[in-house]
Amino acid sequence: MNITHEWLAEWVPNLPSVDETADLLASLGLPVESVTRHDGPPPGVLVVDVTSVTPIDGSDHLTLVTVDAGEQTASVVCGAPNVHVGMRTAWATPGTTLPALGVTVEAKTVHGQASEGMVCSPKELGVYDDASGLIALGDDVEPGTALADVWPAATVMDVELTPNRADAFSVRGIARDLCAKLGVDALDPTRDLPPVVAGSDAGVTTRVDDPAGCPQLVVQRIDGVAVRPSPVWLQARLAALGLRPRNGVVDVTNYVTYELGQPSHAYDLSALDHEGITVRAAKPDEPLELLDGRSITLHADDLVIATGDGAGQPVGLAGVMGGAGESVTSATTNVALEVAHFNPVRIRKAAKRHGLHTDAHLRFERGVDPDLPPLAASRAAQLIAHVAGGAVRSHAAVEGDTDVRAAVPFRPSRVAFLMGFSVAEADQRAYLERLGCEVDATGADGWTVTPPSWRFDLKIEEDLIEEVARLHGYEHIAATKPELDFTPPERDATHRALRDELVAAGHQETIAYVFTGADEASAVHAPAPHVYLSNPQGLERSALRTALYPGLLRAAAQNQDASGLRLFEIGRVFLSEEHERLAVLHAGRIDGAAWQPGETASFHRLKGILETLAERRNARVAVVPADPDEFPMLHPGVAGRVIWNDQDIGMIGRLHPRVERHHELSETFVLEIDVPLPAGRLTIRELPRQPYAERDVAVVVPDVVPYATLEAAVMKAAGPHVLTVFPFDVYQGKPLADGHKSVAIRMRWRHPGRALTDAEVDEHLQSVIAQLQADGYEIRS
Amino acid sequence: MNESQDPTALKQAALQEIQEAGDLDALQQCRVRWLGKKGPLTALLRSLGSMSPEERKAFGQDVNAAKQAVQAAIDSRKTELEAAALDAQLENERVDVTLPGTHGPSGGLHLLTKVTNRLLDVFQSLGYDVVTGPELETEHYNFSALNFPPEHPARDEQDTFWTEDGRLLRTHTSPMQVRYMEQHKPPFKVVVPGKVFRNEAVDATHEAQFHQLEALVVGERVTMADLKGAIQEMADALFGEGTKTRLQPSFFPFVEPGAEFAIWWTHPKTGKEEWLELGGCGMVHPNVFKAAGYEGVTGFAFGFGIERLAMVPYGVPDIRWFYQSDLRVLDQFRGSL
């Protein structure tokens, strides 16, 4: 929220400098995001009255304007549509530099007319952002006055309000906190102002059909106003906050919003049926044209302001935005000022539903002081009469009642218990009272503290402890260590060891977005998304990923310059459940210097990574040929299912050439498996005392026969003492027939208790050969 | 006496041949020829028997002297030839040490992982447990159990990605506070690193996906001073002993009292000393304990963004760089922190 240091100084006695004020506010939990110097209009700009307006021949929009600056008059060519005789505005005399425009105004000839200086819009003056016409000044300043003398510069502080501090959404609210911290009384200009009172002279009828939505409604009538531009002091104050001055009545409602924190709305009484205002729930599908020109269709949960007894058309979306038709205009003479308290949730829902974001709704959804309407109505009426003339009716129409705050039990000893520092009970009490709480310290078990109406965020003891600590100062919190009897279990929840192993093996870690789209999933043959976002950032980010490899493919695709890639990611995928996974990608030349033959990515190189991971974990890993169509993203001839300690944990293979082509990639290999990777038990085996015996056999088989099948046959026939079986050569080519390979297999046997004889081992070998032949394979000699 | 019986002449001829032996094989042949059983010097010794004692003595001495001289020459020549052979071998085995070494890509952790690891090292050394949790969360754990009332503006502070099935992507790591409490008994100290998501307009400093680290400490009598102490210990470990830290009042629905914390440090790029606003913290709100079924304990929690701790110290100009997997960027993160 924007607030000016100057305005705050009117409320806080001896307010410190801007920097010190900002530090104080931060220490109260109201940090100042930024401080901006808001310059007034430049010197050389005078207040003038427009005394004549003459169209210029040959121009459809330019006029020659005579301005009266008291002791001098001048002729100025003007293009503003709102210029009219009798208007009080601003004239930049020749020689004046307008920093907002970056020009120095000169006397010159425009369209054949001598033009001395320039009449200015608010934007040209640099006072607020409106270039649609000349600035319209109030009659509190005399022609000839230097505008800079009456329109002060301001120091704007942007105070960041956390959602709990609705009470600080005004000059009064921030001043209250500062005064409590400084231990002084606020200079409240409304202190001696009596709130409005209900009575027979209200001159307006009111009705609340939905008291839950509108616990209190005050309507104050002001008769005989003259709606005209606001006085300069008021315009300057609103402009510094970034608000656009409109007219005296509307500007006062905005002023009171910022001064006290209570939004209000002024209606032209003549536009209200039966001079009445009703707050009611909207009828389903009821139309409403808003102040900003938009038309909305209302919902039964919306709260509206309607005229008369409520049967008529709504004239405003309560607490959010007024309607188009009933606002105050220059023709208005009698004003009905509506000041109400609304239910925060109803306002929030309505604003959300209709996509509206207004200052009023932001205040009401956070919560406004429920007891404020009678005082705010009185303050606004007083200022309207001051600014726009008119007579305030002695009575107001008041519906509903003030809120009753619940008392909060409070034990002063808990401050030390929770904060670790102690504050004298007298000081605690003083802090709470300075914040507006009523403290009853007579109870045996502790105090009873009733927070003020504006601090509805104070509900429990801890809230009050924070208040005491805030005023005492968080800088008094010491730094200590808790004494806890806790030893954390040993675990690697973030897979640090796995990451380190992969990096040591030359892999670069990547982190991709968890977002994907149905199109991407289908293009790379990933499982279709299971979880879609209802409010995504674009179609390609509309769902959650079902696999990690598509992210690695994106990374590979955008790093085509790299000669080789070894990438990995550990992250979560979202199928019917959320899983943590590891994905590894190999492509291109993955080893060797450029001047050497080197090594390019291959299935078995990637499988080697998997096997190393298994060995390090004392785990068993096997890759079995994937079933047809099991992994549609993989090349059907280079696709395996990964079995880790007998659990199916994922896939390994070469990408399907269709997927490679989608990303214009060359041969690319991927591994994607669930993590964590369970480790096998580590138990030390005794060292063998017997030597092993070794025999080799070579088999010629069709290419499609997997090695694993041969190994299984060997194991079946090799007898009880077989130690290891492994392939040591795979050969294709002459003299073998096309489509065949020769696989040389080495077997080792060991008896635990004695040396095996050659005859025994040869017998095992013969059984193996017999088994292989029985399975239809040719033995190569 | 002819020349073949003159030990001196034989010695001269032998020395000549030994000197001319070009390699160890030739030298070996020399040795066999001159000193072997059939060699001329051995033959001379055999002829001693036919001589008079006087003759035998003098001649024998001459022959033995010649034999010793030949043996010495062979040994010396052998040493020479071995040295030359080694020289030749060494020359033969020469490599170009200026050619690049053999290796694949060096590999590296993502910068965010490195920063997270550093933080985990700090907290693990302080005795904290480390856990992670689901990214796809329920409204209950992300908001309601953390004391965000329904339809409260505090929920708007965290623009939320909702899923069509009514769940959400967690907007902070704080849901794990409740999940951890449901599964563990106090006292404990735990940190939770992980991805979080906000539906904000993406620019150089805002991402829809980023990382946080959350700490939660619960015990019979944990105070806000313990919170300050924990933040101080983290600051000391990350930025050096005695680093100044600051707590200022703030609001997060799941803590009360609440605070923001900052660390006084020297900005590595500008050299300016300033407060680095890191994150939010406070004492666990009684309603959060209630949601987790805890009674009679107090605790503190704090949390902060990892990206900020990676971007500011290392001068990363754009948060999106972390997620674009551009090796030209990732390569630069490889050095140690």
Give A42-76 pLDDT, tens digit per residue: 999 999 999 999 999 888 889 999 999 999 999 99
Closest CA to B13 of B36, B38, B30: B30
**Contact assessment for residue A318 and residue A360, using Cβ atoms and an 8 Å cutoff:** no
B283–A contact, CB cutoff 8 A:
yes
pLDDT at B9 over 90: no
For chain B, how are helix, strand and coil distributed in percent, rounded to 5?
A: 45, 20, 30
Distance CA A366, CA A168 (A): 11
Residue of B nearest to A597 (CA): B102
Looking at the DSSP bridge assignments, the partners of residue A52 are: A66
pLDDT at A177 over 90: yes
B226–A contact, CB cutoff 8 A:
yes
pLDDT score recorded for residue B3: 57
Distance CA A368, CA A43 (A): 41
Query: If DSSP codes are grouped into helix, strand and coil, which group holds residue A566?
Result: strand
Residue of A nearest to B99 (CA): A595
Distance between B135 CA and the closest CA of chain A, angstroms: 8
% of residues, chain B, pLDDT over 90: 64
> What is each CA distance from A346 to A265, A288, A322, B287, in whole angstroms?
18, 17, 16, 24
Closest CA to A574 of A644, A527, A632, A509: A527
Closest CA to A155 of A8, A234, A238, A38: A38
Is there a contact between B223 and A544 if contact means CB atoms under 8 Å apart? no
From the list A463, A477, A591, which residue is nearest B247 (CB)?
A: A477
pLDDT score recorded for residue B169: 97
**Contact assessment for residue A291 and residue A324, using Cβ atoms and an 8 Å cutoff:** yes
pLDDT at A114 over 60: yes
Distance CA A735, CA A132 (A): 93
Is there a contact between A466 and B116 if contact means CB atoms under 8 Å apart? no
> What's the number of CA atoms in the CB half-sphere (13 Å) around residue A717?
20
Is there a contact between A462 and B106 if contact means CB atoms under 8 Å apart? no
**Contact assessment for residue B291 and residue B178, using Cβ atoms and an 8 Å cutoff:** yes
pLDDT score recorded for residue B45: 80
pLDDT score recorded for residue A681: 86
B212–A contact, CB cutoff 8 A:
no
Tokens of A301: 């949960």
Closest CA to A137 of A233, A259, A240: A233
- Give the amino acid at B276: L
pLDDT at A695 over 60: yes
Contacts of A493 in chain B (CB under 8 A): 130-132
From the list A163, A480, A486, which residue is nearest B225 (CB)?
A: A480
Residue of A nearest to B327 (CA): A559
B113–A contact, CB cutoff 8 A:
yes
Is there a contact between B104 and A566 if contact means CB atoms under 8 Å apart? yes
pLDDT score recorded for residue B337: 60
% of residues, chain A, pLDDT over 90: 88
Is there a contact between A27 and B208 if contact means CB atoms under 8 Å apart? no
Give B40-66 pLDDT, tens digit per residue: 888 888 887 788 888 888 888 888 888
How many residue pairs from chains A and B have C-beta atoms closer than 8 A? 264
Residue of B119, B159, B163, B218 to mutate when probing chain A, most A C-beta within 10 A: B163
Closest CA to A250 of A269, A263, A236: A263
pLDDT score recorded for residue A403: 76
Q: What is the mean pLDDT of chain A?
A: 94
Distance CA B118, CA A520 (A): 35
Query: Mean per-residue pLDDT for B114-122?
Result: 96
A117: confidence class by pLDDT, cuts 50, 70, 90: very high
Query: If DSSP codes are grouped into helix, strand and coil, which group holds residue A630?
Result: coil
B258–A contact, CB cutoff 8 A:
yes
Query: Which position has the token pair 């498996």?
Result: A673
Distance CA B60, CA B46 (A): 10
Tokens of A165: 């501090």
> What's the number of CA atoms in the CB half-sphere (13 Å) around residue B277?
9
Give B290-317 pLDDT, tens digit per residue: 999 999 999 999 999 999 989 888 888 9
Tokens of B204: 């150089």
> What's the number of CA atoms in the CB half-sphere (13 Å) around residue A77?
17
- Please give the residue that has the higher pLDDT: either B238 or A513: A513
Give A581-630 pLDDT, tens digit per residue: 999 999 999 888 889 888 999 999 999 999 999 999 999 999 999 998 99
Residue of A nearest to B324 (CA): A512
Cis peptide bond prior to A657, omega within 30° of 0 = no
Contacts of B128 in chain A (CB under 8 A): 488
Contacts of B251 in chain A (CB under 8 A): 29, 162-165
What's the Rg (C-alpha) of chain A? 41
Query: Which position has the token pair 């009023």?
Result: A360
**Contact assessment for residue A65 and residue A94, using Cβ atoms and an 8 Å cutoff:** no
B36–A contact, CB cutoff 8 A:
no
- Give the amino acid at A450: T
- The total number of residues shown for chain B amounts to 337
pLDDT at A683 over 90: no
Distance CA B325, CA B315 (A): 18
A490: confidence class by pLDDT, cuts 50, 70, 90: very high
Contacts 24+ apart (CB under 8 A), A34-39: A34/A157, A34/A158, A35/A155, A35/A156, A35/A157, A35/A158, A36/A155, A36/A156, A36/A158, A37/A153, A37/A154, A37/A155, A37/A156, A38/A4, A38/A153, A38/A154, A38/A155, A38/A156, A38/A239, A38/A240, A39/A99, A39/A126, A39/A153
**Contact assessment for residue A366 and residue A1, using Cβ atoms and an 8 Å cutoff:** no
Distance CA B60, CA B44 (A): 9
B228–A contact, CB cutoff 8 A:
yes
Residue of A nearest to B287 (CA): A460
Is there a contact between A494 and B130 if contact means CB atoms under 8 Å apart? yes
Query: Mean per-residue pLDDT for A532-553?
Result: 96
Looking at the DSSP bridge assignments, the partners of residue A35 are: A157
B42–A contact, CB cutoff 8 A:
no
Closest CA to A258 of A15, A452, A8: A8
Is there a contact between B217 and A482 if contact means CB atoms under 8 Å apart? yes
Residue of B114, B248, B252, B321 to mutate when probing chain A, most A C-beta within 10 A: B248
B327–A contact, CB cutoff 8 A:
yes
Is there a contact between B226 and A590 if contact means CB atoms under 8 Å apart? no
Contacts of B131 in chain A (CB under 8 A): 491, 493
From the list A31, A506, A599, which residue is nearest B248 (CB)?
A: A31
Residue of B nearest to A542 (CA): B163
A197: confidence class by pLDDT, cuts 50, 70, 90: very high
Does the domain made of B111-333 have the CATH classification 3.30.930.10?
yes
pLDDT score recorded for residue A593: 84
**Contact assessment for residue A708 and residue A624, using Cβ atoms and an 8 Å cutoff:** yes
**Contact assessment for residue A564 and residue A587, using Cβ atoms and an 8 Å cutoff:** yes
Is there a contact between A558 and B326 if contact means CB atoms under 8 Å apart? yes
Is there a contact between A592 and B104 if contact means CB atoms under 8 Å apart? yes
pLDDT score recorded for residue B44: 81
Tokens of A32: 């100042």
From the list A462, A493, A509, which residue is nearest B131 (CB)?
A: A493
Distance between B268 CA and the closest CA of chain A, angstroms: 23
B336: confidence class by pLDDT, cuts 50, 70, 90: low
Contacts of B162 in chain A (CB under 8 A): 533-535
Contacts of B286 in chain A (CB under 8 A): 460, 462
Is there a contact between A474 and B248 if contact means CB atoms under 8 Å apart? yes
**Contact assessment for residue A435 and residue A455, using Cβ atoms and an 8 Å cutoff:** yes
Is there a contact between B226 and A480 if contact means CB atoms under 8 Å apart? yes
Is there a contact between B249 and A541 if contact means CB atoms under 8 Å apart? no
Distance, CA of A269 to chain centre: 42
A427: confidence class by pLDDT, cuts 50, 70, 90: very high
Task: Please give the helix or strand (H or E) that residue B324 lies within, else none.
Answer: none
Is there a contact between A502 and B132 if contact means CB atoms under 8 Å apart? no
Distance CA B194, CA B173 (A): 7
Contacts of B198 in chain A (CB under 8 A): none
Closest CA to A620 of A579, A564, A694, A680: A680
Residue of B124, B199, B256, B323 to mutate when probing chain A, most A C-beta within 10 A: B256
List CB contacts of A12: < 8 A, sequence separation 6 or more: A175, A178, A179, A182, A184, A186, A187
Is there a contact between A514 and B195 if contact means CB atoms under 8 Å apart? yes
